[in-house]
Structure 1
Amino acid sequence: MLILLPPSEGKTPPRSGAPADLSALHFAELSSARQDVIEALAVVSAGQEAMAHLGVGATLAHEVLRNTRLAAEPAAPAHSIYTGVLYDALGYQSMTAVQKHRADDAVVVISALWGAVGFADVIPAYRLSMSVGLPGLGKLASYWKPKLGAALSAPSEGHLLVDCRSSTYAAAWTPDPARTVAVNVFTERDGTRKVVSHFAKHTRGELARHLLTRRGKAPTTPEELVRATSEKWTVELVPGTARKHHSVNIILPN
């Protein structure tokens, strides 16, 4: 089982530490592409229109400035860099050593800057969304899509992919639909369902934690994933097709 997560918008920069070593990250064949994004991001972040280009407000100027010196910034494991609703619910720091090792092996974060990283990969904090376009590279979802397809194909072979990404990050890689299950979260009242945003992030984080900390073997099929998920929530499986992934719908009480 592999759990695909989006990055958090906000990151927690480490106070100290050596800079990231691109050659030490998972999916080493992405190193050249990562370097190109780092360089293009530095140019944009140093420009007068940096804030507008990156789609952030003035309060995040310090994060944009950090983008100009990522090669020298202190780095830390991705599970401590990414923070926010989903990652708080996942609760890596409160896991046992065995559970942390399982998370390090199972979690892949799809990133606008790195393409994809493992949960224990050492990276700096940065500010960049997959929806942004960079000079010479274009929209990052389109830039990364063929590269991630090539780099992640072999490592994901034979794994059930539990896809907890948002649509922005899902656009950067379309894995084999037969082995992919997207996680949707709804509330239901009087037979009417509503998609929830904040609670979707939280629930996906809770699901990731549940799958990484529960006893027993990791699910290997969509049906097994439904059984594991139903240990905590009301769920239903929407079977996929030859071209469309499966979906697990988690129904929260209203």
Structure 2
Amino acid sequence: MLIILPPSETKSLDGPGAPLDLARLALPALGPIRQHIADAVVALAARPEECAAALKLGPTQLDDVARNAALWSSPTMPALERYTGVLFDALDAGAMSLSERGRAEERLMIGSALLGAVGAADPIPYYKLSAASRIPGEPTLRALWRPVLGEEIAGLGRGLVVDLRSGGYAALGPVPGAISVTVMSERPDGSRTVVSHFNKHYKGLLARALAVASREPADAHGIARIATSQGMRAEVSGEHAVTLVV
């Protein structure tokens, strides 16, 4: 099983690892595109005002321009520790046992505008780039990633793929046959609406349940059973779709 998480705009700074080495990342065939995008990000950061405008950075985020400029020389840390925020708080990798962490690192990938997708243990630097970012003079990130990313992920041959990425990141590299998950809120009258604010929290809880499960599910029904065993209300809403009802 492979669980693809969305990245987070918020990230831990610094890290204990050596600078970015593309050869150490999962999906090595993506190397040339990763190199191209990373070089373009660094070049853009050499023009601070243009960079801030292109990446829509506010006055309190201008340090991210300098951090992008140092992309090739800054320290790294495992992707599972680099990304922070609501989903990763719910995933709570720091509280996993050694055996659970091992299963999680084998099963989890994280989408990335900069790197396409990375393994949970892949050493990556801090960076600022989102799926919606547009680097002046470059094709869109979707145009760069979409022809190859989904195919490379599917080519890993990990069996069932559970895609928890948000729409913008999933569009960078759709994986055929992947299970999608929707979080819905149910009102007292039985009507439902898509959850937005706590969407990442519930997906983080589901990701944790799947990542540490002793047995991998074979289909959407198996995913729903694991979610239910952890106190979640899950419904199979299609061959490739699960709904969490909150």
Contact 1:144 1:173 in 2 (8 A): yes
Give 3-state SS (helix, strand or coil) of 2:72's partner.
Answer: helix
Residue matched to 1:200: 199
Q: How many residues align?
A: 243
Residue identity in the other structure for 1:113: L
1:4-83 pair list within 5 angstroms: 4-47=4-47, 48-83=49-84
How much has 1:51 moved relative to structure 2?
A: 1.5
1:203-218 pair list within 5 angstroms: 203-214=202-213, 216-218=214-216
In the alignment, which of 180, 185, 199 is matched to residue 182 of structure 1? 180
How much has 1:153 moved relative to structure 2?
A: 2.6
Residues 3-54 of structure 1: CA deviation (Å, up to 9, x unaligned): 0111110110224431121111111111111110011111222222211201
Contact 1:8 1:83 in 2 (8 A): yes
- Equivalent-residue separation in structure 2 for 1:163 and 1:17 (angstroms): 28
Work out whether 1:250 is the aligned partner of 2:244. Answer: yes
1:50-199 pair list within 5 angstroms: 50-155=51-156, 157=157, 159-177=159-177, 180-189=178-187, 190-199=189-198
How much has 1:209 moved relative to structure 2?
A: 0.8
Contact 1:70 1:126 in 2 (8 A): yes
Work out whether 1:225 is the aligned partner of 2:223. Answer: yes
- Pick which of 57-66 and 95-104 moved more: 57-66
- Equivalent-residue separation in structure 2 for 1:213 and 1:65 (angstroms): 37
Identity within the alignment, %: 40
Structure 1 residue runs of 5 or longer lacking an equivalent are 241-245
- Equivalent-residue separation in structure 1 for 2:175 and 2:151 (angstroms): 10
Q: 1:108 to 1:196 in 2, by over 3 A?
A: same
Give 3-state SS (helix, strand or coil) of 2:128's partner.
Answer: coil
Residues 131-151 of structure 1: CA deviation (Å, up to 9, x unaligned): 112245321122101121342
How much has 1:117 moved relative to structure 2?
A: 0.5
Work out whether 1:234 is the aligned partner of 2:228. Answer: no
How much has 1:80 moved relative to structure 2?
A: 0.9
Residue identity in the other structure for 2:75: P
Structure 2 residue runs of 5 or longer lacking an equivalent are none
- Equivalent-residue separation in structure 1 for 2:54 and 2:158 (angstroms): 39
- Equivalent-residue separation in structure 2 for 1:136 and 1:151 (angstroms): 26
TM-score (norm 1): 0.91
